[in-house]
Chains A and B, each alone.
Chain A
Amino acid sequence: MTSADTSALLTVRNVSMHFGGLKALNDVSFDVIKGEVLSLIGPNGAGKTTMLKIASGAQAPTTGKIAYKGTQIIGLSADRINRLGIGRTFQAAEIFDTMTVRENVMTGAVAREAGSVASSLLYWGRAKQRVEKLRQIADEALDLVGLGDMADLPAQDLPTGQQRLLGFARIFATGAELLLLDEPGGGLNAVEKTRLIETIRRLRDLGRTVILVEHDMSVIAQVSDRIVVLDQGLKISEGTPEKVKSDPKVIEAYLGTSASTVAPKPQKDQPAFRPVEMEVVDLTVTYGQTVAVDNVSLKLRTGEILTILGANGAGKSSLLKAIAGLEKPAGGTIKLRDKHIAGIPPDKIAALGLCLTPEGRALFPSLSVADNLALGRYVSLKRKRGLLGILALRQEDRDEIDAKREEIYQLFPILKERANQKAGTLSGGQGQMLAIGRSLMNDPSILMLDEPSLGLAPQVIDEILHKLEHLREQGLTLILVEQNASAALRIADRGYVFSSGRISMQGPAQDLLEDPSIRDAYLGGDDANTQTLRVNATQ
C-alpha cells in the first residue's frame, strides 16, 4: 500500500522513538485503511502503547511522520488531534473517579457540545439542551459497551474490567472516527470479551476505524482485518491474520510454539490432609449499601494453589483486599494460623507474611525498578531491624536485598535490563512483572495475586504460571484471582467460583475444569481459540 492510496485514513511513516539508548520504536511505517480493524500486537515492551501515544499526540516521536486524512499531526496538541477525529483509550482504565459512570462519558462529549461560558454560568435554555444532548450521547455509548444499567453508579465502584469498558465508551462519545484501543480486553472474562468483540464489530459497522492493541489472541483472531506485529520497536510482520500467524518470525517472537500451554495438573496428593494455613469464616464486605462479599467462608491449606473465579464485580478483589487488611470487613473472622487478622492494619498483616499484589499494580512511579524492588523488602527488614535499620542499611541487609533482587531478576530478566528505569515509564506488561516481583521480595508465606496475567503477552503468562508452580514447590501458598480461568485452573489445586459475592461452587481444580457449567460461564471459547491459533501457527 502506498500513501497515495486514497483509502488510507492514517499513514505512519518511518516513526522512531528513542529513550536514551533504548529504541522503543525503530523506523516503523504502516497504513490504516478507513473502516478496518487493524491490530497491533507484539511482546511486552514492543512499543505498541508508545505508537498509540504518538498517534494521539501525547508524545512527540524522535523522527517520523504521521498523517491523518492527509493532515500532518505530529506537533499538534493532543486535544487538537482528538478534535480532528482520533481518540485513544489508556492501558490502565484512567476513569474520573469523582464522577458517576454517566458523567464520565458525558465529559467525553463536551468538546463537541461545550457552548459558551456565559451560557454555562447562567444555565439558560441552550446550556440545558446541551447537557441533555450530552446525556443522550453518553447513554448511547454506555449501551454500546453494555454499561447502560450502571450509568448512575460512582465510577470508582466499577470493577476494573468494567472501568476499562467505561474508558472505551468515553472515547466513543468524543465522536472520534479513528479509535486507538489499548488492551480493552484486559481484566475481562470470556463472556465479557465476547461482548467486547461484538462491540468492536459494531463500531466497524458504524463506519469507525479501529487500531487495537491486545494480548488475547482469541480477540485478535476474531476481529482483526489486518495485523501489524512489532517486536523491540521494529515492525516484523504485517498482513491478514492468516498470513501473520503463520509467519515464522511472529511465532518466534510472540506466539510461541507450544501447542498446549500448561499441562493439566495430575491429581497427586490429597491437599485435604495438609494443615490449614488460613481460615475465613462468614466474611462480609460492604461499600455503603452494596454488599460486595456476602458471608463467605473458605479454607486455605499450606502449600496449595487456590484459585478464585467469577465474573467482574463478583467480589473477588474485595475478598482479597479484606484479607490483606485494605478493606475493613463488616463481619466475620479471618484466622491466619492461630492469629485473628480481621481489622488489623495492612502493614501488620504483610509483616505476618501475607502479601497481596493488587490489580492494577500500585508501583512507585518516580522510583527506579531496582528501588521499587528494594522497597518490597523493607517490611520484613523493618520487622527485623526497626526503623533505624532501614534509614541506615547495614551491609548484610544490603547484600540480602541484592541477593533477593537477583532471584527476581532470574524470574523476570527484563527487569534486570531496566533496573534503573523509572517504574512509571515501564510498559504495561513490564509494570505487572515488577508488581509481582515486588511482592515476592518480602518472602511471603502466602501470596495473593489479583489478575497477574493482566496485560501480559501469552508467552509470559505461561512462564509466570509455571514459575508460580515452582514457587509453590518451594513452600509458597498461593491465592490466584484470574480472568484467564482455564490457565488458572490448570495450575491450581482447588477452586472457588464466586457469583454476586457468594461462593456458588467449589472443588478440586480438575473437576471444575471439566464441569460443563463452568466451561460455559467462564472458560468460553477463549481457550479453544488460542489453541487453534497456536496449532495453526506450528503447521
Chain B
Amino acid sequence: MTLHDFRYPAAILALIICYFFGDTYFISLLVIIALHSMAAIGLSLLSGYAGQISLGHAAFYGIGAYTSALIALHIGITPWITIPMSAVIAGIVAWAVGPIMFRLKGHHLAMATLAFGIIVHVALVEMRGITGGPNGMGGIPPLSFFGTPLLFDEDIFPLVWGVVIVMILLSENLIRSPHGFTLRAVGAREHVVPTLGSDTNKSKCLVLIISAVFAAIAGAIYGHYIGYLSPGPFSTTFSVKLLVMVAIGGFSRIWGVVLGVIFVTFLSEWLKPFGNVELLFYGALLIFTMIYCPNGLLSQLGVVASNAARNLRQRTPS
C-alpha cells in the first residue's frame, strides 16, 4: 500500500484543519469538491491514462444519482445499500455500452460519448412519470448514521472525503498494477498493445466500468445530500466541466486532478454572477491548457514558480 506516501497524511491533516476551522460556506464548497473529485478521478483513469476522451461522463453521475434516489424512495431501502446498488447499475450500463462505443476511436469516440451523455440527459427530462422531468423529484431520504441523518455539510464532510481518499488509493494501485501498464500503453500507442498479447477493448471497457462506478457513487451521495434532483446538473455542461478539471490537473495525475477540481470549483464560484458565460470561460481555459500546459495548468504553474525561485536563489548569493 502507498500509505507511507506523505501525500495521504498531508491531505488528511489539511482536511482535518479545514473541518475544524473552516466556516460553513467553505465546508460546503469542500463537499462539492469531494463529489466532483470522485467523478474526475474516474475520468482521469479513462481519458488521462487510457487516452479515451469522454464527453458524456455526467451521464454516469446522473444514473448514480437517480437510481439510488429512486430505489431509496420507492422501495425504502437505506441509502447505505442503494448507493452501492446504483454503482453496480452504472457499472452494468458501462459494461453494456463500452463494447459498442469502443468500436470507435478518436473524434468518433468523443462524438459517441457526447451522444450517450445527451441521450441519458434527455431520458431524465422526458421520463416524467419516474424522474419528475424538468420539475425534478424531492423528498430523497438522507444518509443517516446511527439514527442521526447526515443533513448538514459538516455531517457529510468526513464521509465524502473518506470516499475520495479510498478512490485515490484504489486508482493509484490500479495504475501501478499490471492492468495499469496496459491502460497506459493503450493511452500511449494503442496499436502496439495487441502485439503484446493484451486485448485493448477489454482494458478500455474495464476502465470505463471503473470510472462509471466512481461517478455513480459521487452522483448517488450527491442526491441523498441535496435531497432534491433535477436533470439540470447532469447535462453536457457538467461533462465538459469535469473534463476541464481533469485537463487542468494534468490528465494522468490522480492528485493533480483533485487540485484541478479545487481550482475549477473556486473559479466557478467566482464566475457565478456572470451566468452562462461560465461555459465560454471553461472552453477558453481548456484550449489554453491543452496548448500551453500539456501536463496540466497547475503543474505548469509549479514549474514556473520553481524556476522563479531558483533564479531568485541564484541571484541572492552573488
Q: Which A residues are within 8 Å of any B CB, using their own CB?
A: 56-58, 77-79, 82-83, 87-88, 90, 94-99, 103, 106-108, 110-115, 117, 119-123, 127, 130-131, 134, 170-171, 174
Contact = CB atoms under 8 A, between A and B. Distances in A.
A120 B196 contact: no
A79 B177 contact: no
Contacts, number: 108
Interface of B: 1, 170, 173-174, 176-182, 184-185, 187-189, 191-200, 206, 210, 252
Nearest to A110: B178
Contact of B192 (A96, A113, A131): A96
Contacts of A98: 184, 187-188, 252
A87 B197 CA distance: 8
21 contacts: A58-B195, A79-B195, A79-B199, A79-B200, A82-B195, A87-B195, A94-B192, A96-B185, A98-B188, A107-B196, A110-B179, A110-B197, A111-B198, A115-B178, A119-B177, A122-B173, A123-B1, A130-B177, A130-B178, A134-B178, A171-B195
Contact of A117 (B185, B195, B196, B206): B206
Contacts of B197: 79, 82-83, 110-112, 174
Contacts of A82: 194-197
In this complex, the member of A94, A97, A120, A130 whose beta carbon has the largest number of chain B beta carbons within 10 angstroms is A120
Nearest to A89: B195
A166 B192 CA distance: 13
B176 A123 contact: yes
A99 B198 CA distance: 17
B272 to A, nearest CB: 37
Contact of B184 (A58, A77, A78, A96): A96
Contact of B195 (A88, A112, A121): A88
A284 B203 CA distance: 43
A119 B198 CA distance: 18
A490 B1 CA distance: 60
**Pairs A-B, 5 closest by C-beta atoms:** A111-B197, A120-B177, A78-B194, A82-B197, A123-B173
Nearest to B194: A78
Given A83-B197, A123-B173, A117 B179 contact: yes
B188 A120 contact: no
Contact of A99 (B170, B177, B178, B188): B188
B194 A107 contact: no
Contact of A131 (B170, B176, B187, B191): B176
A77 B178 contact: no
Contacts of B174: 120-121
A87 B194 CA distance: 10
A371 to B, nearest CB: 21
B195 A56 contact: yes
Contacts of A111: 196-198
Given A114-B182, A120-B180, A131-B176, A79 B188 contact: no
Contacts of A90: 192, 195
A174 B196 contact: yes
A120 B198 CA distance: 16
Contact of B194 (A57, A94, A103, A112): A57
Nearest to A78: B194
Given A120-B173, A120-B174, A110 B181 contact: yes
A99 B193 CA distance: 14
Contacts of A117: 179, 206
B177 A127 contact: yes
A121 B178 CA distance: 10
Contact of B178 (A78, A113, A170): A113
Contacts of B252: 98
Nearest to B171: A121
Contacts of B173: 120-123, 127
In this complex, the member of B185, B191, B196 whose beta carbon has the largest number of chain A beta carbons within 10 angstroms is B196
A89 B255 CA distance: 35
A381 to B, nearest CB: 26
B35 to A, nearest CB: 21
A275 B184 CA distance: 52
Nearest to A88: B195
A176 to B, nearest CB: 8
Contacts of B191: 58, 94
A94 B170 CA distance: 30
B178 A114 contact: yes
Contacts of A97: 188-189
Contacts of B196: 79, 82, 87, 107-108, 110-111, 170-171, 174
B291 to A, nearest CB: 15
B280 to A, nearest CB: 28
B167 to A, nearest CB: 10
Contact of A103 (B1, B179, B181, B200): B181
